[in-house]
Amino acid sequence: MIVSVVALLMAFGVLPLVRRISAREDTIAASEARLARLRSLTTREREVTQAARERSAQLDGIGTRLLSGRTTALAASSLQALLQDYARAAQMTVSRLDVAGAPDTSTTGDASIPATIALIGDVYGLADLMTLIQNGPRLLEVRELTVTSNSALRGDLLQVTVAVRGPFVPE
């Protein structure tokens, strides 16, 4: 009988009290953690504000990296000139350059102008070209890169084909 009374007292008295105290302690710990985060933010307010401004400036700069033009043909022309400049800066010879006159919206839904450039050069020129495409003034997505060695070419020259897409925004 005493065991039953103790079991009932534990089940209906002590265990609910322990659960309630545990829940209250969890709530207090969560509130203290939230308060510590808020205090940390207030002490680092200048840093956080500066980081937010920098990130906002980065996002604002993305719009200037997109290809633009009054018509898609003008944007395609600027993409063609850009790729020729990259090849010249990388000291590679352009053997073929195809730029579509109409934007491609089939895969992403965003208007982007596809282009394919075939070049001849060495491995250093290829590295320079890829660096220019990655860090250049316009945003370009490399869709395909093919590098082949041709024994008919003198020296260590490579035949390189790069397919890119440049996001386009009409002016």
- Do 79 and 123 lie in one domain? The reply is yes
92 and 162 housed in the same domain? yes
pTM assigned to the model: 0.60
pLDDT of residue 151: 73
CATH number for the domain harbouring residue 94: 3.30.70.60
Please indicate, yes or no, whether residues 135 and 90 belong to a single structural domain of this protein. yes
Nearest to 145 by CA among 167, 123, 112: 123
The pLDDT value recorded for residue 118 is 95
pLDDT at 51 over 90: no
How high does pLDDT run on average in the chain?
A: 84
Both 56 and 98 in one domain: the answer is no
User: Alpha-carbon distance 116 to 68, whole Å?
Assistant: 19
| Domain co-membership, 82 together with 143 | yes
pLDDT at residue 63 in the model: 54
pLDDT for the residue 144: 94
Q: Is the pLDDT of residue 87 over 90?
A: yes
By the 8 A CB rule, do 122 and 144 touch? no
Q: Do 106 and 123 belong together in one domain?
A: yes
Q: Which two tokens stand for residue 7?
A: 């079991």
Residue 117 belongs to what domain range?
Answer: 67-170
- 72 in Cβ contact with 103 (< 8 Å): yes
pLDDT in tens, 103-158: 665 655 567 889 999 999 988 999 999 999 988 888 889 999 999 987 776 777 88
Q: Say yes or no: 90 and 23 in one domain.
A: no
